[in-house]
Amino acid sequence: MYTDIENIIGYRFGNKDILKEALTHKSYAGEHRSSKHNERLEFLGDSILGAIVADYIYNQCPHVEEGVLSKIKSNLVSRRNLYLWGKKLDLGKYMSLGHGELATGGRERDSIISNAVEAVIGAVYLDGGYPAAETVILPWVKTQALTQDSQDFKSLLQEHLQKRGRETPVYEVIQTVGPEHDKTFTVRVSLGDKELGTGKGHNKKMAEQAAAQNAFERMKK
């Protein structure tokens, strides 16, 4: 079981007991009269995640003011985003839960899964230090759009245009720079020959969202 989750997150634990603790919910520990559950690791992981995300967006957004950086960080580490990450990792499958939680859908509960993400990060940090935590967190962060909220700007832009009887916008990669493992894409969104906006990101999806946000905000002015 632990080999599977290690393969998924891309990190090998020296101490498997730490990973076991990260995947143990308080309800399970209570039923088995154990003090070992993931709440302390969750506390630690929350801080480590915040520090690594803050460092990343600070360097990726050199001209963005502090207030906006804080909003971007809050969105990235929100319960919703961590839940989606945890679902992608299939963490619920590996959780040790009490009978009550199991009976009420605990393996799918957003709070349990998002908290488990933070606990696993805390476990990685304890086992391998800050660099190990970065190897787990950064690949995920680089797939996320650096926006102040979790809105789908491509959908918002399309709805805005449809209400005005316009056609579907076209997204085009106009520039790719950087090494293979750390590329930055620039995307342009257009209607016919008219450019509506541009955006950058570490993958095409992220760049398209950034371009849509740029276009949407320009249209709303």
List, by residue number, the catalytic residues. 46, 118
* Contact assessment for residue 155 and residue 145, using Cβ atoms and an 8 Å cutoff: no
CA dihedral sign of residues 14, 16, 21, 22: positive
Q: Which pair of structure tokens corresponds to residue 5?
A: 């989750």
CA distance 141 to 126: 20
* Contact assessment for residue 91 and residue 18, using Cβ atoms and an 8 Å cutoff: no
CA distance 130 to 151: 31
Axis crossing angle, helix 2-9 with helix 110-141, rounded to the nearest 10: 50
DSSP 161-192: HHTTT----EEEEEEEES-GGG-EEEEEEEET
